[in-house]
Structure formats: C-alpha cells, structure tokens
A and B are shown apart, each in its own frame.
Chain A
Amino acid sequence: MASTRRELISLIEQGVIPTEQVAHAVQASGLHPSNRAWAVFIDRLLLWLGGLALAFAVLFFVAYNWAEMGHWLRFGVVQAAMVLAVGIAIWPKASPMVQRLALTSATLLVGVLLALFGQVYQTGADPWQLFFSWAALTLPWVWVARFELLWVLWLGLLNLTVGLYFRTWGGPFGVLSSSDAALWGLFWLNTLALATWEWGARYRNWARQWAVRLLAVGSGVPMTLLTMTLIADVGLVWSPVLAVYSLWLAVLYGVYRYWWPDVFMLAGGCVSVIAVTTLLLARLLLWEGDWQEGSLMLMAIAVLAMGTGAVVWLKRLHQEASQ
C-alpha cells in the first residue's frame, strides 16, 4: 500500500506520467484495493469492532454499579465473558486473527474483573495495585498472543502502574519529589522496553513498526521533562539528570545513526535538544537577564538556527537512508 503510493507519487513528480494520464495511472497502479482486499478488510473491521464492542459493553455494565443486581451475578457476568473469550482463543478452529481478538478482549476483561472486585469489596487498594495486578495476571496471555498491539497495551498498564505508584508513595526522597520519581520510573521502564524490543527485532525477527517509535517517545519525553525541570529549578548545574540525559542522547545518536539507522528517532532527539536548549537560553537571557527585547530577538534567531540545522541534517540523513 505505502510503497505503491510512494512509487506513484515519485513518477508524477518527475513528470514520467503524462498529466492527462495520471487518472488512468492511479487506476492501473493497484493503489486502490481490489474486491478481495475489501472483503478481507471489512471482515476484520467487523470482527474487531464487534468483539471490542462486546468487551466494552461488559466494562460499561460494571462501571454502572447496578445496586439491584447481586454481587455474584455481576461476578458471573464478567467471568462468563472472560471464560468465553479464553475459550475462543484456545479453540483449535479459530483463526489467528480471532484468537488475537479473543485474547485482547480477555485481557481487557481481567481489568474489569479486578475493578469489580475493588468495587464490591471496597478493598481500599491503591489504583497502582489494580494496574499492577492487571499487568501481572495478563502477562502469560500477552506472551502467547505474540501480538504487537497487546504488548503495547500491556506496557501501557505498566506505565500507569509506575506513574500512579510514585504519585501515591513519592520517590525515595519523599512525596515532594514524586513527579521527578514518576518521570524517572517511566524513563527506565520505557527505555528497557525499547532496548528489549530492538534486540528482539534484530535477533528474533520481532515486528518493528510503530510500537518501537511509541516506546522511544515514552523514553524521550520523561527524560526531556526531567532535564527541563532541572534547568527551570536550578539552572545548568552538575546533576545525575544531566549525566543521564547526555548519555541518553549519545546512545540515541550511536544506535540510530549507525547500528540501526532511523531518522524518526534522531528527529525526536533533535526536538528534545531544541526544547532543552531553548529553555536554558530563556533562563540565562530572560529570567536571569532583564527581559530586554534584544534577548527575545536572540532567542528567536537561536530557535530558527537550531530548527533549520536539525531539518537540514535530518533531510541529509533521510537522503542517505533512501540511497
């Protein structure tokens, strides 16, 4: 799909396809899906929409907290739905797509069951415990499903666990540093997941598409925020944050420039550097300076220079990668 579109566009741009024949070329190129492709697409769309609608129906039902309905009946509804989903997943005649949908639904239903447990017995458990239990209980299914989307959902649960844990208990230095601690937690979690996924993609043929990019964003955003917090609070002083940030940038550059070239990752690094440097300049020129119009002009020029430099460099890398 994507490569046909790319080829077609490049031929139109080069003037290879005469203007009056572009419409015909679009038809002949195979860009538009065939009857069969439509049939498969609609089949999958109906399957996923239908399956997820049923799983969400159970979720909404539990959230309604119907007082007239007995506890056992409510547990029965959720557990029956979960058993049904797992039963479909292990049914030998189910196609791999149906099995994946069933396991995804079952994973969602475990969370619903845990929420219902907390709702009925008023356990007083912290929210992070719910998400942690959810992630721990569903790991075996996620493992056997070998499904990218489900892994990302599972990692999302772990992210929530880490964020909520530090919001509740704070970091090693108390509740005041809970925000920083949560950012550290998210950074290490997503960086570890990213490294594992990249290793798997390299040596175990794991799918390496949007999920890796999402994890890289999950790793880069907390690190950048930590560095920006440091600069906003105390300025550019020696700190473990600065050391880790520098190391993170160096590893990002080394890995995605030479080991596994990926312009998206490097672009993310550029955005991070621009954001951090702009904040540092703002601190030096504006907060510690005296808000002169010349400083603002200087900032504008600096941002323009950094942005342009990054775009020129990234375009060059993209050109190298394309060749």
Chain B
Amino acid sequence: MTRNGDDFKAKLSQANITLNEPIKPLPLETPWFVRALQAFSGWLAALFLLGFIAMGMVFVVESPATSMGLGLVMIGAAYALLRRARSDVLEHLALAVSLAGQLLIAWALVEWWEASPYSLWSLLGWSLFGLQCVLAMVMPSQVHRVFSAFAASLALYMALAMSVMAPVASGLVLLAMTLLWLNEFRWPGRFKDVQAWGYGLLLGLLVIQWLAHSGQALPLLNDMTDSAWAGLKSWLNVALIALALLLVFLRVFQNLLSFRGRWAAYACATALLFVSFHIPSVGQGVVVLLLGFAIGHRLLVGAGVLSLLLGIGSYYYWLDSTLLMKSLTLLVIGGLLLLLRWALRQWLNTQMATQGDGSLDRDA
C-alpha cells in the first residue's frame, strides 16, 4: 500500500468505516488500452474463424437453422471457457469464439428476416439488441460485457433509425448509461460489471453521435419508414436528456448546494434543454461532462468534451436552419452563458467571502 493508500485508509477510518484485512490479494487493474487491444485481436481472429467456417463447412452458412445452432453452440462454448478461464489465452480464445458465434447468428437472422414483410434491418436490429443485452448480462468477462453493451447500443440505433427515430436511440443510451454510472457502487459484488456496461454504452453513445454527425446513418439503412412517433423524436430526445440530467442533479443535490443553488441549477438545466432542442447532441455532451465530474471519473469528463465538440460540428451541417440563424443562435447562447457566469461569480464570491472560503479566482 502506498503512502497515498495509507492516507486514504486513515480518511475512511476517521469516517467510522471499519476496515478489514485484505481477504484477496490486490488485483491489478488492466488498463483500458490493453483491453482494447484484446478486443481488437479477438474481433480480428473471429473474422478469420468465421471465414474458416464459411469455407470449410459451407452447409452451415447455407442453412439458417444450422448457422443459428452452431452460433449458439459457439456462444455456449465461449461461456463455458470464460467461466473457467484463468489465463489470458483462454479468455482471448473464448472472446473470438463468441464473436464468431454472434456473427453466425446475425447471418441466420438476416436469412430469416429477409422473407418477412417487415423491415429487415429493423427486425435484425431488435433481435441483435436482445441478443447483446443477454450476452452483456451473462458473459463472465469484462471485455465481453463492454463489447456486448457497445453492440447493443448500436443495434438499438439501427432498429430505431429504421423508424426515423435515431435521436431517441442516443437519448435512451444516455439515460441507461447515466443510471449505470450513478449506481456503479450500489452492488459492491458486481460493480466491475456495472462499470463494463457503462464503458460499452459510453462508446456506443460516441459512435452513434459520430454516425449522426457524418450523416451516414449506417449505409445499409436506406429503406427507412416513417412512424407515427417520428414527429416527436426531437421532443422525446430532449425529454430523455432532461431525465438523465435530473438523475445527475438528484445525486449531486443529496448533500450539496443550498435551496437557492438548486433552483439556479434547475434554471441552467432548462436553458440547456432549450439549447438541446435547437442544437441537437450538445445536451448529451453536457450531461456526460456533468456526470463524469459528479462521480469523479476523468475519462467520462474527457468523453463529454469530445461529445460536445462533435455536437458543435454536427450543428454546422444541420440542415433545418441557415448558417445565419445558427450564428445568431450561438451569439445569443454565448452571450447568455457568459452573463450567467458573471452573475454566478458575483453570487458565489459573496457566498464564499461570507464563509471565508476565498474566491473563485484562486482556482482560475
């Protein structure tokens, strides 16, 4: 235990928390980029494995039922391997086998749904969403959970985009991610699982935003059908962002801020939701940023900044408004934000001066 660790333990002891002797050796956390490398090579190996099956056992890919059966068997085998895996080799192998199995299932689903009178991509999206949700829940591997949560968010996007409801997908993913991160320590025995789902959804959210930004909502999706809810998509998206923001606020307000501070925060939130309606995807960037800061997670804060930059980039190409109107909107928003900052500084500096806590400039 380092000196920082000793200080940290002392801090917890002072808060009347009984500390046990370690019952397990300290597991060394695998850095995210090593996990990413693991996922990358697993995915690459899965593609070759699938190629091997397609060439070596042609009858498998020719029959949807056989593809589905073999896919399920492979996922089952991967599950069994992951349950027993005590080495990186086995975990790696299981990941590749599972990914190849999922691709086989997806192939079988495409074959099946092609004959359906409903939209192929919508049905496929919902089916894969269900599959990935189950896998994210049951697969005993953090890398697999991250991947499945990520794939589930993309499948949801595909399913909803077919009904011209793509913005709702990002709102739903944002809400689910906010719920997970705000409750990451609620179940101490499974907090690693919750974090893995949270990372997967975060990645999914950024990719969905990038897809929306690039204007290429998955090239396959060219037979979108308007749904009765399509007219409400912007409102639904703002409502989902508002809900996510409210959850963050409720957590922050548990022990912080005065009554006036809370109302100031709600006023800022209303302004943000107004901005989100006119500048889609900026709201979600701000929510991720606030969420990251609220739970002390630097990576989430960075992702929030990235999301915000993507949001401003998307705004430039947004076709529902002229560049002149966008410019005026930004001018008003920028002016209001700086005015709000000035007002908050006046108020906060007065508060801090009365509490003997210095001023904000001390940290600037």
Contacts and interface: CB of A to CB of B under 8 A. Distances in A.
A318 to B, nearest CB: 6
Nearest to A30: B11
B185 A50 contact: no
A54 B322 contact: no
A47 to B, nearest CB: 6
B344 A311 contact: no
Interface string A1-30: 111111111111111111101111111111
Contacts of B26: 10, 13-14
B291 to A, nearest CB: 12
B89 A24 contact: no
A321 to B, nearest CB: 10
B88 A64 contact: no
Interface stretch (A197-205, A252-260, A264-272): A264-272
A46 interface: yes
A19 B14 CA distance: 18
Contacts of B28: 315, 318-319, 322
A307 B293 contact: no
A50 B25 contact: no
B185 A26 contact: yes
Contact of B18 (A21, A36, A50, A210): A21
B331 interface: yes
A133 interface: no
A316 to B, nearest CB: 10
B41 interface: yes
Given A13-B24, A38-B256, A318 B12 contact: no
B41 A41 contact: no
Contacts of B328: 57
Report, as a range, how many residues of chain A touch the other chain: 35 or more
Interface majority SS (helix, strand, loop, mixed), chain A: helix
B354 interface: no
Contacts of A14: 22-27
A51 B338 CA distance: 7
Interface in A92-150: 95-98
Contact of A307 (B12, B29, B38): B38
Interface of A: 1-19, 21-36, 38-47, 49-54, 56-61, 63-64, 66, 95-98, 210, 263-264, 267-268, 270-271, 274, 278, 291-293, 296-297, 299-301, 303-304, 306-308, 310-312, 314-315, 318-319, 322
Given A38-B257, A53-B331, A60-B316, 13 more contacts: A16-B20, A22-B188, A50-B338, A54-B338, A61-B323, A274-B40, A292-B55, A296-B51, A296-B55, A299-B51, A312-B88, A315-B28, A318-B34
22 contacts: A4-B8, A7-B8, A10-B5, A15-B22, A16-B19, A16-B21, A18-B18, A29-B11, A46-B337, A47-B338, A54-B330, A57-B328, A66-B324, A210-B302, A263-B31, A271-B40, A274-B40, A297-B48, A297-B52, A303-B45, A303-B48, A311-B92
Nearest 5 interchain pairs by C-beta: A307-B41, A53-B334, A50-B337, A28-B15, A293-B56
